[in-house]
Amino acid sequence: MSDRFLRACRREAVDATPVWFMRQAGRTFPAYRALRERHGILELAKNPELCAEVTLMPVRELGVDAAVMYADIMLPLEPMGVDLHIEPEVGPIIERPLRTMADIEALRKLDPAVIESTLEAIRLVRRELEGRAAVIGFSGAPFTLACYLIEGRPSRDYAMAKAFMYGQPAAWHALMDRLSEMAIAYLRAQVEAGAQVVQLFDSWVGGLAPADYEAFVQPYVRRIDEALAGVPTILFGTGTASLLELTAACGSDLVGVDHRISLADAWARIGFDRGIQGNLDGARVLAGWDATEAGARRVLDEAAGRPGHVFNLGHGVLPGSDPAILRRLVDFVHETTARVDLAAATA
């Protein structure tokens, strides 16, 4: 089953379209909610056994084709000297947001040895799965992490971060350079531990104009992708319809597309030599099965059976989503796209 996902990442023929959901390892399962009553997010992520348990839940319960490691994009920032905590219903809070070049120069280089708990969790998951699903490692992308570090908390417009970018370009590029090197070291360590695919989360990059993305962000994302040559890579962002060609040019194997643009239009714009991940609106799951099926059928019709499609939500599983509908959705995608045999699909 892991081969199905990996073949799709390489745009090879598959026996059925692979499926996974961002934020699949929580929110919907009673067992996860019970763990969260006793443990914080970072506490769960830093405990290899508990992290592996949560990571495996959606494979067992939903039948998805990939297990994404349970973690937070802020996790590798702590070893770099960033004091932070996660507030429920708010998100990551940086104790001392970055303001100057001196703040950036004080950031330490990431030593993969200090994230051994994450690496051990990957080893546990890989052994437990025994090939039943692929293992996805991930990192926050430099722009999104920079926004958190400068804003100090989640933001709607990233005004402080963008003002820093425009007003202190030398400091901005120094920060992006350090975050790129962190992401490379972090992802390489995850691959060595057993991650078979890696995803770069650039959740906030849709707030940039194309020219600013090209000048201030794209070189660093491209550097990360080039450093991971030979490893299937996925670049994810939201609200990136105006940036699709630029994000595709970064070189990832798959480009994440959210529900704000049709999958067919997105694929035509980035070129069919690139894979796509997406892009069902997660709110359809909240609306019930009929709405979910209709949206999923449209996504699959727009994918038109092309190699390189990984079915996912446009963003992630929303609170209140029914796991029974998610399970039915996984089965629907697999059954609707099933090929009689792989040889016929390859011909």
Task: Please tell me the distance from the alpha carbon of residue 264 to that of residue 301, in angstroms, as a whole number.
Answer: 9
Q: Is 327 a catalytic residue?
A: no
- Strand 309-310 to 233-237 pairing: unpaired
**121, 256, 331 from 219: Cα distances, Å:** 31, 18, 39
198: CB partners within 8 A, 6+ apart: 136, 137, 138, 139, 187, 190, 191, 228, 231, 232, 233, 234
Task: Please tell me the distance from the alpha carbon of residue 227 to that of residue 179, in angstroms, as a whole number.
Answer: 14
Q: Is 72 a catalytic residue?
A: yes
Task: Please tell me the distance from the alpha carbon of residue 144 to that of residue 57, in angstroms, as a whole number.
Answer: 27
Task: Please tell me the distance from the alpha carbon of residue 249 to that of residue 245, in angstroms, as a whole number.
Answer: 6
Residue tagged active-site, from 72, 103, 177, 322: 72
Q: Do 246 and 210 meet the contact criterion of CB atoms below 8 Å apart?
A: yes
Residue tagged active-site, from 11, 36, 132, 298: 36
Q: Is 223 a catalytic residue?
A: no
Instruction: From 23, 147, 39, 48, select the one nearest 92 (Cα to Cα).
Output: 147
Residue tagged active-site, from 27, 222, 260, 328: 27
Residue tagged active-site, from 32, 148, 213, 220: 148
Q: Is 65 a catalytic residue?
A: no
114: CB partners within 8 A, 6+ apart: 79
Residue tagged active-site, from 23, 99, 153, 306: 23
| Gyration radius of the chain over CA positions | 19
Q: Do 52 and 124 meet the contact criterion of CB atoms below 8 Å apart?
A: yes
Q: Do 46 and 78 meet the contact criterion of CB atoms below 8 Å apart?
A: no
Helix (H, G, I), strand (E, B) or coil at 78: helix
Q: Is 212 a catalytic residue?
A: no
Task: Please tell me the distance from the alpha carbon of residue 266 to that of residue 276, in angstroms, as a whole number.
Answer: 8
**8, 39, 112, 334 from 307: Cα distances, Å:** 6, 41, 35, 14
Annotated active-site positions, please? 23, 27, 36, 72, 148
